[in-house]
């Protein structure tokens, strides 16, 4: 059986940060704590939210809360990818399933 970790926001948790004071230190600490769970669980696949400053894989919001996106990875995504875990953007999930032949879109 495949072990999968899914980003909390994709599971329905409201974990979006909408601005205010600088919380970079806390944000980095949270990414590290989440990564420790990944190391403990050793999943086969990690599915993350697109564009999140924590979980984005291809691009992220720039942190100005203006909606501006920039190329790059979120803090948590970067930790997971550098450690060699298979990480998937939720926007690529359907294609991933098709490639596994679990879904027929025709």
What is the 8-class DSSP label of residue 83? Answer: T
The H-assigned helical ranges of 1-106 are 24-41, 75-82, 93-99
pTM: 0.85
Q: What is the pLDDT of residue 20?
A: 75
pLDDT digits (tens, 9 = 90+) for 52-105: 888 999 999 887 888 899 999 999 999 999 999 999 999 998 888 888 776 565
């Amino acid at each position: 059986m495949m072990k999968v970790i899914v980003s909390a926001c994709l599971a329905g948790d409201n974990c979006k940060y909408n601005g205010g004071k600088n919380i970079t230190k806390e944000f980095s600490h949270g990414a590290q704590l989440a990564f420790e769970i990944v190391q403990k669980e050793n999943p086969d696949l990690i599915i993350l939210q697109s564009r999140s400053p924590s979980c984005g894989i291809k691009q992220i919001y720039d942190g100005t809360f203006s909606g501006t996106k920039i190329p790059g990875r979120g803090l948590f995504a970067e930790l997971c990818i550098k450690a060699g875990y298979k990480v998937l953007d939720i926007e690529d999930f359907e294609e991933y399933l098709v490639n596994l032949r679990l879904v027929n879109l025709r």
